[in-house]
Structure 1
Amino acid sequence: MIFSMTGYAARTLDVDCGALHIELKSVNSRYLDFQFRLSDELRIVEPALRELFASRLTRGKLECRLNFVSATAHAQSLVLNVELLQRLKSFDDRIRSELVNAAPLAVSDVLRWPGMFAEDALDIEALLPDCLIVAKDVLEDFSASRAREGEKLAAVILERVARMRELVREVAPRIPAAQAAFQEKLKQRLFDAIHSVDDERIRQEVAVFAVRIDVAEELARLSTHLDEVERVLKAGGACGKRLDFLMQELNREANTLGSKSVVSEVSQTAMELKLLIEQMREQIQNLE
């Protein structure tokens, strides 16, 4: 199965004291990179989440958001933790007595302070298994979304491969006749320009030049690399780096084909091949 590096999934798990909400999204990256945005009370679960995600993913920049919503979060009346409030007030007074220019604590800061409300007191240890359960569930959805995107990208790449094969098939039969005509034209020009050189010498020089402009080897290597692209896509897995290398090889052969061309048909084909290779490369940048 082919996986894209871009994906998204979200899950919510109801627990006794509230609900856990987790969200995963990822974009391209050369390596596997994690960004965890967890509420303070759930920071303890980060190592376990990192290990879980690393066991399933190989490339991409993954952002994970996990937070806990208390069952009483939307209650009409909330009970403040008076003891904690007094301690914060004491700290605030003391700090501003030493640092006269210090800004006082804002109400919003106080209300967001961990443990400020009675329902903030959580049994984190009891909540950890639930965190892993919802993380495993969302990871399945996330992997499925990346697989769907990867399938679409693979189809686009295979379309370009088919078009490249078509171009090679179309131009290959025309090359010998076109090169023969060019050799005769070149021989005549040389003969007209250098009357003192015998015809055999001209034929030898043209034969040497013909070897240099022969593109049969480039066309054969192009076909071989296209075979490998199809094989890698069929094998699936984390194939982005391998395919990116194959794009470099295909581009090298297309460049050589263009530089050795002496007929417009081959030059035009080389240009179209390079355009298709670049289109494939853009898609491959999204593959794991």
Structure 2
Amino acid sequence: MVHSMTAFARQAHDDDWGSLQIELRSVNQRYLEPHFRLPESLRDLEPLFREALRTRLARGKVECSLRFDPARDDGGLAVSRERLAELARALAEVRDAVPDAPMPDALALLDHPGVLESQGPDLDTIKAAAVALFQATLDDLIAGRAREGDKLAGLIRERLAAVNGQVAEVRRLMPQILARQRALLLERLESVKAELDPQRLEAELTLIAQKADVDEELDRLATHVAEVERQLTQKGPVGRRLDFLMQELNREANTLSSKSVVASTTRCAVELKVLIEQMREQIQNIE
């Protein structure tokens, strides 16, 4: 199944301790390029999120934004009696050693690390909720990329059908083109009343036919179209293969154009190039 690299997903989770909201946004990029905006308290989740993206996505620039809003009633603050007792013992030793040393006031004691403890929710609980929410949002993002990929595949198939139509048209015109070229050459010879050896005339006509013969190019165009169709049904990333096939299709269209001897085949070659370029633009968004 074809997946697009362009999608957006957002999910939120509310709990007694507050709310979480995650947004994932992806656009086309040659490689996988994740970017994260996480709150400091949840910053250590980034490696886990990065690995999840690397496991499930192959290409695309992915922006991940995580927002955490704690509940207003977060349980307040409490004094750690154990930490405060340790600090008091240390201050007593300082007083014994340096009697004139100024002692800190109550606010300074509270400002000491570890004396005040938050009575809010367990951070591990919040992290577990954030991880679950990220996985659910990533599922939504991948589903969105799949839906968009289906649309891109449909557009590409429409143009593949048009390419096959142009190939069929050139095949239909080839007998008329060769006959017209032969008739034009004979008319020119007749107009100048040139006398040409029959063998030389046949050699010239054969050379013209060879230059105008594009069966090989038409066969390769049909082969590449079939391979594009096959790639559209494959599992996993196919964007790079499709891009390569567009290059091959364009090469054959250029050769067809260079061999064109009448306006009808030139028009077909131009139309082929337009169709191939339209497919190439769509393929830039395919993973």
TM-score class, shorter: 0.7 to 0.9
Q: Are 2:18 and 2:71, in contact at CA under 8 Å, matched by a contact in 1? A: yes
* Deviation readout 1:138-173 (Å, 9 max, x if unpaired): 011111111111100100000001111122222312
SS in 1 for 2:286: coil
Q: Are 1:4 and 1:287, in contact at CA under 8 Å, matched by a contact in 2? A: yes
Deviation at 1:185, TM superposition (A): 1.2
TM-aligned CA distance change 1:161 to 1:70, over 3 Å: same
How high is the TM-score relative to the length of structure 2?
A: 0.80
Counterpart of 2:280? 281
> Does residue 181 of the first structure (1) align with residue 180 of the second (2)?
yes
Counterpart of 1:65? 65
Deviation at 1:205, TM superposition (A): 2.3
The whole-number CA distance in structure 2 between the counterparts of 1:185 and 1:278 is: 35
TM-aligned CA distance change 1:128 to 1:193, over 3 Å: farther
* Deviation readout 1:168-224 (Å, 9 max, x if unpaired): 222312112211221231244256558364232122122123212211111111111
Q: Quick one: which amino acid aligns to residue 9 of structure 2?
A: A
Unaligned runs of at least 5 residues, structure 1: 81-117
Q: In angstroms, what is the RMSD of aligned CA positions?
A: 2.5
The whole-number CA distance in structure 2 between the counterparts of 1:43 and 1:8 is: 22
Q: Are 2:181 and 2:208, in contact at CA under 8 Å, matched by a contact in 1? A: no
Counterpart of 1:6? 6
SS in 2 for 1:64: strand
Counterpart of 1:51? 51
**Identity in percent:** 48
Counterpart of 1:92? none
Counterpart of 1:157? 156
Aligned length: 250
TM-aligned CA distance change 1:237 to 1:203, over 3 Å: same
Q: Quick one: which amino acid aligns to residue 37 of structure 2?
A: R
Counterpart of 1:199? 198
Q: Quick one: which amino acid aligns to residue 178 of structure 1?
A: I
Q: Are 2:17 and 2:120, in contact at CA under 8 Å, matched by a contact in 1? A: no
TM-aligned CA distance change 1:8 to 1:225, over 3 Å: same
The whole-number CA distance in structure 1 between the counterparts of 2:267 and 2:157 is: 22
Equivalent residues in 2 for 1:131-150, closer than 5 Å: 131-150=130-149
SS in 2 for 1:234: coil
Q: Are 1:160 and 1:280, in contact at CA under 8 Å, matched by a contact in 2? A: yes
The whole-number CA distance in structure 1 between the counterparts of 2:251 and 2:227 is: 15
Counterpart of 2:83? none
Q: Quick one: which amino acid aligns to residue 27 of structure 1?
A: V
* Deviation readout 1:115-142 (Å, 9 max, x if unpaired): xxx9796643332221210011001111
Counterpart of 1:171? 170
Counterpart of 2:264? 265
* Deviation readout 1:260-279 (Å, 9 max, x if unpaired): 01121111111111111111
TM-aligned CA distance change 1:260 to 1:120, over 3 Å: farther
The whole-number CA distance in structure 1 between the counterparts of 2:51 and 2:280 is: 31
Q: Are 1:187 and 1:203, in contact at CA under 8 Å, matched by a contact in 2? A: no
How high is the TM-score relative to the length of structure 1?
A: 0.80
The whole-number CA distance in structure 2 between the counterparts of 1:224 and 1:193 is: 45
Counterpart of 1:226? 225
